[in-house]
Amino acid sequence: MWMLWALLRGRGSPLRRATDRREARVALAALLLLVFAAPAAGWAGGTAADAALQRSVRAQHEERHPVDAVVVGPAGRERSAGDPGGGVERGARTRVVASWEAPDGTPRTGEVAAASRPGGTGSPVRIWTDAAGHPVPPPMDGRTARTHAVLGGVGTFLLAAACVEAGRRLAVGCMVRRRYAWLDREWAAVGPDWGRAGKGG
């Protein structure tokens, strides 16, 4: 950091070039962006994601309702219900055939996922349904939504930091190429006369 500050102030070795100071300014700008802008972007991204997910959680809890169903029989197979919108009830579920009543009182029967292993035929099982009485996955819980929001914020921070570093490398690369091009032009102009000093014309 001290060397970077010295480059910016122009002190130190008399061999320091103007391009060195420009590269130091680019490095300082990238450092400031990494320290302040990238975390701010991550916080903003996480906050926006959390607000959107919490709205989704509220909407799901308003649209989905727990219903007590009765097991009619086994569905014949088990599977892991990897529903990304599930909450604490997400995980390995047992598929069973159950009967329940829709909100309008219509009896329904179908294959549903039970969060816990139910008993035999006639045992109660808790399922989730929508307003029409169709079985749906459990709603997302607030804790899961917050975890997803945090991960989104971290991802936004990493993306912002990667963009800053990519911009720094691109800027420094352009400066280096311009420096080499300038050196090539200078050498092309001076090279033919190299070693002729002191010789008679």
Confidence of residue 100 (pLDDT cuts 50, 70, 90): very high
- Asked whether residue 60 falls in the same domain as residue 79, the answer is no
- Asked whether residue 151 falls in the same domain as residue 58, the answer is yes
- Asked whether residue 81 falls in the same domain as residue 47, the answer is no
Domain assignment present for 201: no
On whether the CB atoms of residues 100 and 93 are closer than 8 A, the answer is no
- Asked whether residue 71 falls in the same domain as residue 106, the answer is yes
- The answer, yes or no, to whether residue 10 has pLDDT greater than 60, is no
- Asked whether residue 150 falls in the same domain as residue 54, the answer is yes
Domain assignment present for 69: yes
- Asked whether residue 54 falls in the same domain as residue 144, the answer is yes
Q: Which of 138, 170, 191 is the last residue of a domain?
A: 138
Domain assignment present for 105: yes
Rounded distance between C-alpha atoms, residue 21 and residue 165, angstroms: 18
For the full predicted model, state whether its pTM sits above 0.85.
no
Rounded distance between C-alpha atoms, residue 110 and residue 150, angstroms: 37
- Asked whether residue 75 falls in the same domain as residue 134, the answer is yes
Confidence of residue 60 (pLDDT cuts 50, 70, 90): very high
- Asked whether residue 29 falls in the same domain as residue 76, the answer is no
**Which residue pairs from 96-100 have beta carbons closer than 8 angstroms and sit at least 24 positions apart in sequence?**
96/71, 96/72, 96/125, 97/71, 97/72, 97/73, 98/69, 98/70, 98/71, 98/72, 98/125, 98/127, 99/69, 99/70, 99/72, 100/67, 100/68, 100/69, 100/70, 100/127, 100/129, 100/133
Quote the domain boundaries for residue 88.
65-138
Domain assignment present for 184: no
Confidence of residue 186 (pLDDT cuts 50, 70, 90): confident
Closest CA to 138 of 66, 73, 200: 66
> Residue 65: beta bridge partners?
129
Domain assignment present for 33: yes
* Mean pLDDT of all residues in 81-86: 42
For 56, the token pair is 């989704």
Rounded distance between C-alpha atoms, residue 72 and residue 121, angstroms: 5
- Asked whether residue 42 falls in the same domain as residue 94, the answer is no
Domain assignment present for 30: yes
On whether the CB atoms of residues 64 and 128 are closer than 8 A, the answer is yes
- Asked whether residue 40 falls in the same domain as residue 132, the answer is no
Q: What is the pLDDT of residue 88?
A: 41
For 124, the token pair is 């109660």
How many residues comprise the chain?
201
Number of compact structural domains in the chain: 2
**E strand segments, 83-171:** 91-101, 107-114, 124-129
Domain assignment present for 165: yes
Confidence of residue 83 (pLDDT cuts 50, 70, 90): very low
- The answer, yes or no, to whether residue 84 has pLDDT greater than 60, is no
Domain assignment present for 164: yes
- Asked whether residue 30 falls in the same domain as residue 69, the answer is no
- Asked whether residue 130 falls in the same domain as residue 160, the answer is no
